Amino acid sequence: MKFDYDRYIVLFLSFVVIVLTVGISLVVSFFYVLTIARNSEYPVSTAVNVLLVLGKKLDNNSPDDEYNHRLNRAAQVLKNNLACSVYILGGVTSSASIAESEAGKKVLLDLEIDNNRIFLEKDSVHTLENLKNFYCLFNDKSQKVLLITNRYHLARSRMMANGFKINTLSCPAENSFKYTPTNIGKIMIEAFYINFYLSGKYWAMLTNNGKIINRISTP
């Protein structure tokens, strides 16, 4: 396996930013993620005809509760708008023997969604790859898509989608945000990931690092 120097340089820089700002950068990211998680609403009426469901690591080759929330929300939108199609993103990760998107498709079929409305991306292994691969697959770059994921995950997903110039509206999988220790912990982790992502973005812009720029954005 080729050693990814850029990844570790950016990881180091993200810690440097946190230290130099006395943690303020992390606190700002935390409240940014929390605000979006708390305030995002299910769009009751939208002209969007393409849904984008981000995959998630499987539990014994089956979607866990969070992934099922995403899929159930997608099914709800699809049943309310018969012109909609859905892209499910995610390849084989961890110890699974099937792709995240394949497992998601099975759930939607069980929820009586027509097979012809479901499209899969089966090569990506994390959110950034999910979105980059979708950008490459999707022909109409200007068309709006409805991005469906869990509330704690919305801020980073939307930020990354913007990097690839994907014209997204966001849709939370859950009806509301619950202030549980688990959810607050996930918000904290997402805050660090955003700090990491932005450190890489601005470092790449400053140093004109084409490798990083191509990884996180599109021309």
Q: Which of 157, 148, 121, 151 is nearest to 137 (CA)?
A: 121
Helix (H) or strand (E) holding 171: strand 168-172
Does residue 8 form part of some domain? Answer: no
Q: Which of 70, 12, 48 is nearest to 169 (CA)?
A: 48
> Domain of 86?
41-172
Quick one: pLDDT band at residue 5, thresholds 50, 70, 90? Answer: confident
Helix, strand, or coil (residue 57):
coil
Q: Supply the pTM of this predicted model.
A: 0.93
CA–CA distance, 100 with 95 (Å, rounded to integer): 11
What phi, psi does 57 have (nearest 5°)?
Answer: -55, 135
Does residue 187 form part of some domain? Answer: no
pLDDT tens digits for 142-152? Answer: 889 999 999 99
CA–CA distance, 15 with 7 (Å, rounded to integer): 13
Residues 6+ positions from 69 with CB-CB distance below 8 Å: 150, 173, 174
- How much of the chain exceeds pLDDT 70, in percent? 97
pLDDT tens digits for 19-34? Answer: 999 999 999 999 999 9
Does residue 56 form part of some domain? Answer: yes
CATH of the domain at 55: 3.40.50.620
Q: Taking the CB of residue 114, how many other CB atoms lie within 10 A of it?
A: 11
CA–CA distance, 210 with 164 (Å, rounded to integer): 15
Does residue 29 form part of some domain? Answer: no
pLDDT at 132: 95
Does residue 51 form part of some domain? Answer: yes
Does residue 46 form part of some domain? Answer: yes
Does residue 163 form part of some domain? Answer: yes
If you average pLDDT over every residue of the chain, what do you get? 94
Does residue 6 form part of some domain? Answer: no
Asked if the model's pLDDT at residue 44 lies above 80, the reply is: no
pLDDT tens digits for 52-104? Answer: 999 999 999 999 999 999 999 999 999 999 999 999 999 999 889 999 999 99
Handedness of CA 168, 174, 178, 184 (dihedral sign): negative
Domains of the chain: total: 1
CA–CA distance, 118 with 30 (Å, rounded to integer): 34
CB 173 within 8 A of CB 70: yes
Quick one: pLDDT band at residue 1, thresholds 50, 70, 90? Answer: very low
Please indicate whether residue 184 or residue 49 has the higher confidence score (pLDDT).
Answer: 184
Q: How does DSSP assign 64-79, residue by residue? A: -HHHHHHHHHHHHHHH
